[in-house]
Amino acid sequence: EEVEKWINEVPHEVSKVAMWIMYYAGLRISEATGLKMDDVRLEDNGGWLMIRNAKGGKFRRVPIAPLLAEILNDYMTWKAESDYLLATERTGGIHTVTIQAELRYARKRLGWPEDITPHTLRHSFASHIYEKTQDILVVSKLLGHSNLSTTQIYAHLHDDKMVDAVNVF
């Protein structure tokens, strides 16, 4: 609900789509803005995003959640003509600073703290995936982490699961 509240506060429609991509696919802001049309394999109820220039120059594939597929299918009906997925009529793309500014202003209007950033969407994605799957390897692969210790932060968020586990005794 908080993500939706934040997105609804953003007036820039392409920035809204970028936010949904970061949230539903766990992408960094630079990965979202770098997506080209050739990187999107959109199907009716899902598909794949090809992240070709992730952190460290790595490549990964991320499945498109059904809700994101719905958003992207709608977006394709009004998207600016461009090789980039996220594009404005004026520039044929969108800069990370544009999205960051839009999200910052929306956050301020909501009265939320400064530590809520675009990266919070990726963090929320990872936390939700871990909470549902309890599989740190899946989270690591989806985020494109090469070192599992980088992903461990998401496991620590759910220490209550460990407490529940030992409380069976």
Residues serving a catalytic function are 28, 55, 119, 122, 145, 154
Local structure of 84: helix, strand or coil: strand
DSSP string computed for 9-68: T---HHHHHHHHHHHHH---HHHHHH-BGGGEEEETTEEEEEE-S-GGG--EEEEPPHHH
- Side chain identity, residue 76: M
Q: Which two tokens stand for residue 52?
A: 């070709």
First CA to last CA distance, the chain: 35
Who's near 72: CB < 8 A, 6+ residues apart? 17, 21, 40, 42, 64
One-letter identity of residue 104: R
